[in-house]
Amino acid sequence: MQHQAIMNTYGRLPVTFSHAKGAYVYDDKGNSYLDALSGIAVCGLGHAHPAVTQAICEQADNLVHVSNLYGINRQNELAEKLTKISGMDNVFFSNSGAEANEAAIKIARKYGNEKGVELPTILVAENAFHGRTMATLTATGNKNAQAGFGPLLDGFERVPYNDLEAAKKAIEKNPNIVAVLIEPVQGEGGVTAGLDDYLTGLRKLCDQNDLLYMLDEIQTGNGRTGQYFAYQHYNWKPDVVTTAKGLGNGVPIGACLAKGKAAEVLQPGSHGSTYGGNPLACSAGCAVIDTITSANLCERVQALGERIRHQLQSHLDNQQVTEYRGKGLMIGIVLNTDEACGAIMKMALDEGLLLNVTAGNVVRLLPPFILTDEQADTVAEKTANVIKAFLAEKQ
């Protein structure tokens, strides 16, 4: 399965896909699979969505790339759509989520330096995942991901997730803290949602201490939780929010949005990206936002999420599952076992279903927003069946 000419960085399942349409992908042997993973929260609109396909084909026939030395109409168009839907002031475009988080980290450090802070430090959370570049890997709270890549960078302090008192004490003790970087829902950390009081309390702590409140919405953005951004479930805005994954529906693009004092930190020459915000990626992003908003897909995400959770609960009992986590179509199913459940991915593949596991014993579902009710029921039924089969083998 692993081609000898490809660097061995991924543990791959024994399948190669040849094409996809809607909620289904097809392998090179003609087998079909219902996709409950969406390329890890990337293809929210499903595969080969006609609006995205038309947008990138038309753009590819016109202008694929031009340097950021010049004006880019498609970039301007996407920036206007993103700032309007988010309530933020401006955008920096990158190629990926990690690069979007790098931009946020640089904003925080420059903001701190301009305030005269000696060692600008960002408060981050245990079990977080912010990317695999050196800065975002340091911000990530996963020792397995960091192993072997030391020395990591200075300028990060880590506290337990969903522990507002711990964050408050850290800020009181460390005058170098200039920003808080947090995921509204920790995806890789077990699909753990931030508590309402915790996320809102962090906003208040940042206001009281003149800190930047920065949200990593790489996975939760673009409709995944049932609002365009997860913070829109609340009555406040962050100073910085990053997103990627679903923004291009498969075309690589990331964005770092800023508001107020954070929006003026980066100036010409202080940051950049060769490919970031090129016309092709921005065309895909425009089509994604237009489709999500015109089809009211955020409402559909909430309905589908509730339907799948209800169906899972009808198939599984508390002897098999201890907890359901997440928001919208970001669903974590915590199995009642201490054993790692990675084998479920292959078992699901054999049943014609794509899903993922994380944090050892959490089955993760990230299906596309365009599922029919019947497809949602099938996702729940097949997922429950493989969970029951996996747990039965462990008894």
Catalytic site positions: 129, 216, 245
**Which strands, in side-by-side order, build the sheet including 330-335?**
321-327, 330-335, 362-365, 356-358
CA distance 105 to 95: 16
Torsion of CA 360, 97, 162, 121, to 10 degrees: 120
Q: Smallest Cα–Cα separation from 127: which of 160, 165, 164, 163?
A: 160
- 151 prior amide bond cis, ω within 30: yes
CA atoms within 13 A on the CB side of 178: 23
Q: Smallest Cα–Cα separation from 50: which of 312, 388, 288?
A: 288
Phi and psi at residue 337, in whole multiples of 5°?
-155, 150
Q: Smallest Cα–Cα separation from 344: which of 335, 44, 376?
A: 335
Q: Tokens at residue 97, please?
A: 């989520």
The residues pairing with 267 across neighbouring beta strands, listed in sequence order, are none
* Residues 44 and 251: beta-carbon distance below 8 Å: no
Q: Tokens at residue 243, please?
A: 């997103």
* Residues 254 and 242: beta-carbon distance below 8 Å: yes
Place of tokens 């791959």: 12
CA distance 236 to 311: 33
Phi and psi at residue 179, in whole multiples of 5°?
-160, 160
Count other C-beta atoms under 10 Å from residue 150's C-beta.
7
- The DSSP-derived string for 354-374 is E-EEETTTEEEE---TT--HH
* Residues 104 and 287: beta-carbon distance below 8 Å: no
CA distance 20 to 38: 11
- Find the length of the chain: 395
Q: Tokens at residue 184, please?
A: 């509204």
* Residues 287 and 51: beta-carbon distance below 8 Å: yes
